[in-house]
Structure 1
Amino acid sequence: MTSLDAPSVSFDVVSPATGAVVGSYPIHTAAEVDATVEAARGAGQWWSALGFAERARRLDAWRGEIVSGRVELAHLMHEEMGKPLSDAALEIAMAVEHLAWAARNARKVLGPRSVNPGLLAFNQECTLEYRPFGVVGVIGPWNYPVFTPLGSISFALAAGNAVVCKPSEYTPGVGHWLARRFDLVVPEQPVLQIVTGMGDTGAALCRSGVGKIGFTGSTATGRRVMAACAESLTPVLMELGGKDALIVDADADLDAAAAAAVWGGMSNAGQTCLGVERVYVHTEVYDAFVPKLVSRAENVHAGTGAAKIGPVTMPKQIAIIRHHIEDALARGARAVLGGADTIDGQFVQPTILVDVPEDAVAVTEETFGPTLTVTRVRDMDEAIERVNAGTYGLGGTVFSRRNGRRIADRIRSGATSINAYVAHATIAGLPLGGVGDSGFGRVHGPDGLKEFTYAKATTRQRFPSPLALTTFTRGPATDKIVDRLITVLHGRKVS
């Protein structure tokens, strides 16, 4: 149930670390995608009819299957996209936490509940519930091939939808692995299916008539996904790129801030939409902070084996990273660590740039590599102004002992973490998503469950109203009573 029978055309997955072929997968055509979605329609009805409790039981069993196979899954992630095994294991741990939350909270968030009808409709019984779309299409990324797709898949499943997932062409094996484990606990129907291929396969999924598309990827690709979905008015959830900043106030714990900046900027070889790419440091502590940052980053190396970061997964990204570094240096920036000459094949060593102009591409565009720009600011007003000047608005981090909340509240982003990097993404009950070029819609938390449903309102008249309003028999006396009620209820002047 994980995919259709393999078509004649296939593609190879190549390890970015070794260049070896680690898998071969079918390129599903539009007709095959349509057939997969059609099979999912009946499966979605069956899955929805199971109810919240039974779905939660099945999802908990799937979580157990993922945990029992976590070593195998981590090795597969490592092979396909190069992530170190320890980071792959951490990603799996975070993913199952969110899967557990979705299963346990779906009924409370989405189930029927009463709504007060108000005085004018006091004879009505009102109910609100959130119903599944039926089939949800998920287009997943390669950089976090378990955690990120499951942010949509597990919440869509908990809400009662069937799911057709198109994983990235760089990590299709991870998608198949997750679906095979799901089939062990839901063998009756094709509730979770995988289609594989390139951009055309994803476009076919957008045009297949699914109830909603959940997309995670670059802003440029997101625009193409939206255009394809617009043809059929298919709603979309857009988790797009970022250019997140870390702010260091004068009273910050500099050691903690430096450690967070290095992890936020360099982990996963910088291939994180929530990754730190810009650092703004109060002038009073700038000269003390930069050496601490460099000292920590010097101990991080890209490579294989015990290296702390792996290769850059997409070969075409190397040129972008190189361009961002070289453009900054050509415009007067200094590399206090690394530089373009430390790029070797698909391995990019950590690079820290200072004195980078704010209109340089290293500041304005997503680099998606292990690089940081570090900028001195006179105060937090300037830091906030520079952070908010960009078109992205995904996340952000603030280090300050006394002013963290005041600074965070002024940052234009979907979330901000104070004195810890990206803590908001690890907490299953909080929504995750962005504004501006970082997209719209939310995964995780109650908002994430509601993303994969539509609101269904129902009223039932309990008894005839003495104030019959929606009828041509309504007379002047009724109008006068309504006018008096409105005056009493809403006509008071606010002092």
Structure 2
Amino acid sequence: MSTPDEVQASVVQARAAAARWAAAGWGGRRAALLGWKRSLAARMDEVAETVAAETGKPHHDARAEVLLALVHLDWAARNARRVLGRRRVPSGPLSAHQRALLAYRPMGVIGVIGPWNYPVYTPMGSIGYALAAGNGVVFKPSELTSSVGELLARSFADAVPEHAGLFLAVTGPGTVGEVLAGSAGVDKVAFTGSPGTARKVAAACAATLTPLLAECGGKDAVLVGEGADLDAVADAVVWGAMANAGQTCAGVERVYVVGSAYDGLCERIVSRARGLTPGEDYGPLTLPGQLAVVERHVKEALAAGARALLGGPGSLRPPFVGPVVLTEVPEDASAMTEETFGPVVAVNRVRDMDEAVARANSSAYGLGAAVFAGSRAAGQAVAERLRAGAVSVDSVLGFAAVPALPFGGTGESGYGRIHGADGLRAFATPRSMTVRRFAPLADLTSFATPGARAARAVELGRWWHGRW
């Protein structure tokens, strides 16, 4: 457990290293980050073994997670200059005498508070992009995956020793994160976790007006139309709901199926889910307390009139949970309103796609969703109507592997975006600059301009904007 003094010292060290990082320029930072990426690729098995040891997830899942992190680190390194570098923007007729320039400067030191479910991929969406934007980073991993966090920081120092101290890890329980967000002096905090913890982090940030980016999970829905390929839908739903033991913020937790597609899809989902073996196809629930949440959601749903098509309370065999497929779950049940974060999926019938959209949008969360409507055009049309930060058509979680796309949500899912150009800008401050090119005929920023000339210029502007 890092002490408050050690957290503070890490921020000071990262800030000093950030000055050298800035001096490296766009090219130097890109080369260093790509060098780190190559080193992580070479150490994939070592990183994956550490992830598997601390989370319990299968080794092949851990390797896939590291690959996703590499994809995002690569994109951030290669695109930072294009997104954040200085560029000219239009000055407009009133300021034609000014050259207008826009650039983004680093914020300083970013405090990243990461989760345990994807301890490499998820925080890399903040770490990699913050570094690419020119910042230093102090990373507080979950106390359940402290070794992963320390390994990531150590791997950076090993790969680019000339920038040692730029990316550091501090470890311990939530109190360490509270210090990092509150009194340690970081310039922004990027947090991933529950809405309840996010509120505590926000309170710590508020004391110093430190900006916060919060990614707080979801209750993601899949919408299925009558013309959809039910085999493809079932395959996607089972993977989206059960992969990583359901411990995915944008995983599938609700499915709304239109009319005649319902019976066939339920049969296919149950058939596929029944073939999964906890401990082989996916791992345990990493957080022991989550078992009680899963049990409560399943029991409350059944007590409220839901039916279990597969599994039930008996599926809980700590630390594992077998696949659970529920149906006819009341919309106000906890299994439909709260994040379950376990291998449980609720499949409900709806009259039409309008009802499916209404139910999907009724959630307090607004992170991700998926649509299978029978055609891509119909799927995109439905996707446009969903209150979600990211939507996949004819797949689930397709957006997670596209580094150019921003990721984040609204409501209980938090605010701000990681990944993509928006993810780079999230860790930079825009700086506007004008350079006077020549003296205008009527300088409206000078008392020396004759009043009549200034009045004619204003009248000309009024005429222009009134006409167009």
Is 1:185 aligned to residue 139 of structure 2? no
Residue equivalent to 2:95: 121
- In the alignment, structure 1 residue 46 sits paired with structure 2 residue 30: no
Render the CA deviation track for 1:461-489: whole Å, top value 9, x for unaligned.
12222211123344432333223322342
1:468 aligns with 2:443: yes
| Structure-2 residue corresponding to 1:90 | 64
Q: Does 1:212 align with 2:173?
A: no
TM-superposition CA deviations, 1:116-142 (whole Å, max 9, x none): 111111111111001101111100111
Matched, 1:397 2:397: no
Deviations 1:284-341 (A, max 9, x none): 21011100010010011212xxx10110001111101000000000011111101111
Q: CA deviation at 1:49?
A: 1.3
Residues 215 and 238 in structure 1, CA contact (< 8 A), matched pair in contact too: yes
Over 4 Å off, 4+ runs: none
Quote the Cα distance in structure 1 between the aligned partners of 2:368 and 2:150.
30
Per the alignment, in what secondary structure is the counterpart of residue 289 of structure 2?
Answer: helix
Counterparts of 1:89 and 1:485 in 2: how far apart (Å)?
Answer: 64
1:432 counterpart = 2:369: no
Cα distance in 1 for residues equivalent to 2:96 and 2:461: 14
- Secondary structure of 2:417's match? coil
Please name the residue that 1:443 is paired with.
Answer: 418
Q: State the shift of 1:31 in Å.
A: 1.7
Partner of 1:316: 289
| Structure 1: runs of 5 or more not aligned | 1-26
The amino acid of 1:361's aligned partner reads S
Match status 1:244 vs 2:217: no
Which residue in 2 is equivalent to 1:229?
Answer: 205
Amino acid at match of 2:451: P
1:21 alignment counterpart: none
Given that residues 40 and 135 in structure 1 are in contact (C-alpha distance below 8 angstroms), is that contact kept between their aligned partners in structure 2? yes
Kindly indicate whether residue 317 of structure 2 is the aligned counterpart of residue 341 of structure 1: no
Instruction: Tell me the equivalent position of 2:459.
Output: 484
Q: Tell me what 1:22 maps to.
A: none
C-alpha distance in structure 1 between counterparts of 2:460 and 2:218, whole Å: 51
| Paired residues of 1:141 and 1:168 also in contact (CA < 8 A) | yes
Aligned to 1:362: 335
- Percent identity of equivalent pairs: 50
TM-score, structure 2 as length reference:
0.98
| Amino acid in structure 2 at the alignment position of 1:326 | K
- Deviation for aligned residue 1:238: 0.8
Choose which of 389, 402, 407 in structure 2 pairs with 1:414: 389
Give secondary structure in 2 for the equivalent of 1:447.
helix
Corresponding residue for residue 38 of structure 2: 64
How many angstroms apart in 2 are the aligned matches of 1:425 and 1:84? 20
For 1:149, the equivalent position in structure 2 comes to 123
Task: Please tell me the residue identity of whatever aligns with 1:447.
Answer: D
- Aligned partner of 2:45: which letter? V
Aligned partner of 1:259 in structure 2 is 235
CA distance, structure 1, for counterparts of residue 293 and residue 22 of structure 2: 45
Match of 2:467, SS state, is coil
Using the size of structure 1 for normalisation, the TM-score is 0.92
Answer whether contact 1:29 1:204 (CA < 8 A) is retained. no
Once the two structures are TM-superposed, the CA of residue 181 in structure 1 deviates from its matched residue by 1.2
1:401 shift after superposition: 2.3
For residue 179 of structure 1, report the CA deviation from its aligned partner.
1.2
SS at match of 2:13: helix
Q: What pairs with 1:282-301 in structure 2 (closer than 5 Å)? A: 282-301=258-277
Contact kept, 8 Å, 2:35 with 2:160, in 1: the verdict is no
What secondary structure is seen at the aligned counterpart in 2 of 1:142?
Answer: coil
**1-side partners of 2:42 and 2:159: how far apart?**
13
1:276 and 2:252 are equivalent in the alignment: yes
d(CA) in 1 for partners of 2:143 and 2:247?
16
In 2, distance between residues paired with 1:389 and 1:50?
48
Distance 1:449 1:299 in 2: 41
